[in-house]
C-alpha cells in the first residue's frame, strides 16, 4: 500500500515513521530542504517539492497510491493539495482507482465545513483531522479518571485505557484472567495488552496471570466504565461531578476550544488570560456570552488573583498557554493551591511523561494525538495493522470490515475460531440512524456483513491471521 504524505514537519515525519514500521510504501513530500534532509534516514522515498504542483504528485507515484495525507501547517495548502491529489489520481488511473484523502486543519470553520459534507464536495477531502480537538477529547477523557496512564479514543464511544495494576487489586493479582472473571463482580474487563518489566508486551491468554505493577490495556465502551476499571485494578476512583468547575489558563485557540468543550459537557468555566485584548475578544464572542463562563483578565501566576477566584474550589485546572514551561508552572501552582486534577496539552513530546512524575494529573502530546487520529482514519477504511498501545509496544491492532468473503461472516464470535494470541477489542455496527455503535465482543455475538472489528495481536502473527480469515 502506497501512502503519500504532504508535509515533513513533526506530524508528517512522525506519521511517516509509524507507517513505515507497518511496512507501508511511504512517500514524503516537502518544499523545506531541512525537513527533507531530516527525513532521508527513514527508509522512505523523500521528495523535495511543492504539494500544490501537479507534477510533484506524478513524481510521487500518485497512480499507485491509496491514501494521501496533507499534514503541513497551512490549512489552505492542505485543502488545495487534497483537491489536486484527487484530480491527478483520477487522471492517472483513468477514473478506475480510488484515493482516500486525510486533511489536517486548524481552523474550526473547515471542521464545520467538513461535517456538513461540503468540504468533500468542493475539495475532495474524505477525512479531516483537527489536532486540537483530538487532544482536547483525549485530555477530557483522561481527567475524568485521574489514575489512568493513557486514554485512546476510537470512534463510536470506544476507548483503550492503559493503567498499572496495584497490589491492592485483590480480585485480579496473582490470578489468571480466567479465574479473575469469576471473582470480579460484573465480569472481568477485556484486557487486550499486557506489559511486565523485563518482558515483551503480549496479548494475554485466559491462563495468563496478572501481577502487581503490570501495565494493562483495556478495551471498553463509554467513559462511564472508567471508574469501574480503576477499582478492579486497585486504584481509588473519585466520582466525577455532573457539573465540573473548570479553570483554564489562556484564551488562545486551545483555551477557547477547551472552554467550549467543557461548556458543552455541562461544566462551568473560569478563564484567566494575561493579555487584555485576548480577554476582551473572548468576552465579546459567542462562547464568551454563553452562560456558565467567566473571563478574568490577570496573571495566571498571581497567587492573590487565584485566591480571589477561589482556584482551590475548582475540580480541574488546565493550562493552555503557548509555552510549555509556562503551562507547567501554572498547572503546578493550581495543584499547590488545592486543585485535585490538573491537565496540559503540550507541544514537547519529551515533557509529557516528565510532568506526570511532577504531579500533573494528565497531559497530552498534540503531535502524538494527531498521528494517532490520522492512523485511525486510515485504518478505519483500509484493512491493515498499526501500533496503537503506547505502553505495550509489542502488540499491534488491525481494523477490518466484515465482507461476504471473510470466513467468519455470519458466524458467532465463538465459532469464528480466533486463537488465544489475538483478541477482538471492539465490534462496531451501524444502527437504524446510520450511526456507528460499539458493542462488547461477547462469544455469542454474531458477526454481520459491514461490521467493523478492531483486533489486537502480536506483529509476527499478522500473516497467520490473514491466512486464517483471508483479510
Dihedrals φ, ψ of 73, to 5°?
A: -85, 0
250, part of any domain: yes
Domain that holds residue 114: 2-129
> How do residues 71-88 score in pLDDT, each as one tens digit?
999 999 999 999 999 999
250 and 228 within one domain: no
136, part of any domain: no
237, part of any domain: no
| Cell 502524538 -> residue | 368
Give the C-alpha distances (Å, rounded to integers) separating 434 from 165, 169, 376, 429, 440: 38, 40, 20, 9, 19
> How do residues 184-198 score in pLDDT, each as one tens digit?
888 899 999 999 998
358 and 281 within one domain: yes
The residue from 232, 253, 270 where one domain ends is 232
238, part of any domain: no
201, part of any domain: yes
Give the domain CATH number at 155.
3.30.70.1450
437, part of any domain: yes
250 and 351 within one domain: yes
Give the Cα separation of 58 and 412 in Å (integer): 46
134, part of any domain: no
112 and 10 within one domain: yes
Question: Is residue 440 classed as helix, strand or coil in its secondary structure?
Answer: coil
102, part of any domain: yes
317 and 281 within one domain: yes
> How do residues 408-423 score in pLDDT, each as one tens digit?
889 999 998 888 889 9
24-27: long-range contacts (C-beta < 8 A, 24 or more apart)?
24/384, 25/1, 26/2, 27/2, 27/3, 27/60, 27/61, 27/65
| Tally of structural domains, the chain | 4
The residue from 197, 232, 267 where one domain ends is 232
115 and 156 within one domain: no
119 and 19 within one domain: yes
283 and 216 within one domain: no
265 and 205 within one domain: no
The residue from 232, 259, 285 where one domain ends is 232
Tens of pLDDT along the chain (471 residues) come to 799 999 999 999 999 988 887 788 999 999 999 888 888 888 899 999 999 999 999 999 999 999 999 999 999 999 999 999 999 999 999 988 899 999 999 998 999 999 999 999 999 999 999 988 889 988 998 898 767 888 888 888 889 999 999 999 999 999 999 999 888 888 899 999 999 998 989 999 999 999 999 999 999 998 889 999 999 999 988 788 889 999 999 999 999 999 999 999 999 999 999 999 999 999 999 999 999 999 999 999 999 999 999 999 999 999 999 999 999 999 999 999 999 999 999 988 888 878 988 989 999 998 888 888 898 888 777 766 566 666 677 888 887 788 887 778 899 999 988 888 899 999 999 999 989 999 989 999 999 999 988 899 888 887 787 776 665
* Helix and strand element counts for the chain (H, E): 16, 23
274 and 227 within one domain: no
Amino acid at each position: 500500500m502506497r501512502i503519500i504524505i504532504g508535509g515533513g514537519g513533526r506530524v508528517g515525519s512522525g506519521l511517516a515513521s509509524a507507517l513505515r514500521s507497518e511496512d507501508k510504501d511511504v512517500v514524503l513530500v516537502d518544499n523545506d530542504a531541512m525537513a527533507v534532509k531530516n527525513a532521508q534516514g527513514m527508509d522512505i522515498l523523500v521528495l523535495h517539492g511543492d504539494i500544490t504542483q501537479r507534477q510533484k504528485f506524478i513524481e510521487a507515484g500518485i497512480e499507485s497510491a491509496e491514501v494521501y495525507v496533507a499534514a503541513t501547517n497551512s490549512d489552505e495548502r492542505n485543502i488545495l493539495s487534497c483537491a489536486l491529489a484527487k484530480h491527478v489520481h483520477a487522471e492517472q488511473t483513468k477514473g478506475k482507482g480510488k484515493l482516500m484523502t486525510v486533511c489536517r486543519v486548524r481552523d474550526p470553520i473547515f471542521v464545520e465545513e467538513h461535517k456538513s459534507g461540503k468540504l468533500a464536495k468542493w475539495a475532495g477531502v474524505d477525512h479531516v483531522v483537527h489536532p486540537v480537538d483530538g487532544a482536547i477529547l483525549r485530555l477530557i477523557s483522561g481527567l475524568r479518571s485521574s489514575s489512568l496512564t493513557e486514554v485512546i479514543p476510537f470512534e463510536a464511544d470506544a476507548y483503550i485505557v492503559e493503567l498499572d495494576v496495584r497490589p491492592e487489586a485483590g480480585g485480579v493479582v496473582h490470578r489468571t484472567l480466567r479465574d479473575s472473571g469469576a471473582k470480579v463482580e460484573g465480569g472481568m474487563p477485556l484486557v487486550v495488552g499486557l506489559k511486565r518489566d523485563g518482558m515483551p508486551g503480549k496479548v494475554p491468554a485466559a491462563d495468563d496471570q496478572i501481577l502487581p505493577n503490570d501495565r494493562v490495556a483495556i478495551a471498553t465502551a463509554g467513559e462511564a466504565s472508567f471508574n469501574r476499571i480503576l477499582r478492579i485494578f486497585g486504584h481509588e476512583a473519585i466520582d466525577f461531578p455532573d457539573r465540573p468547575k473548570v479553570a483554564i489558563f489562556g484564551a488562545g485557540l486551545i483555551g477557547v476550544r477547551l472552554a467550549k468543550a467543557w461548556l458543552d459537557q455541562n461544566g462551568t468555566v473560569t478563564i484567566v488570560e494575561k493579555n487584555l485584548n485576548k480577554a476582551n475578544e473572548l468576552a465579546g464572542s459567542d462562547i464568551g456570552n454563553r452562560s456558565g463562563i467567566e473571563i478574568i483578565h490577570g496573571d495566571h501566576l498571581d497567587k492573590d488573583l487565584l485566591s480571589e477566584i477561589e482556584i482551590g474550589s475548582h475540580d480541574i485546572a488546565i493550562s493552555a498557554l503557548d509555552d510549555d514551561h509556562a503551562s507547567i508552572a501554572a498547572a503546578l501552582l493550581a495543584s499547590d493551591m488545592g486543585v485535585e486534577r490538573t491537565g496540559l496539552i503540550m507541544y514537547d513530546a519529551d515533557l509529557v511523561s516528565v510532568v506526570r512524575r511532577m504531579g500533573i494529573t494528565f497531559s497530552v502530546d498534540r503531535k502524538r494525538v494527531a498521528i494517532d487520529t490520522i492512523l485511525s482514519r486510515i485504518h478505519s477504511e483500509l484493512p491493515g495493522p498499526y501500533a496503537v498501545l503506547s505502553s505495550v509496544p509489542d502488540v499491534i491492532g488491525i481494523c477490518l470490515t466484515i465482507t461476504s468473503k471473510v470466513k467468519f461472516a455470519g458466524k458467532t464470535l465463538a465459532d469464528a475460531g480466533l486463537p488465544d494470541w489475538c483478541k477482538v477489542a471492539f465490534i462496531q455496527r451501524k444502527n437504524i440512524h446510520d450511526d456507528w455503535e460499539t458493542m462488547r465482543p461477547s462469544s455469542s455475538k454474531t458477526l454481520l456483513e459491514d461490521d467493523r472489528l478492531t483486533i489486537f495481536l502480536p506483529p509476527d502473527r499478522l500473516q497467520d491471521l490473514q491466512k486464517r480469515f483471508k483479510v
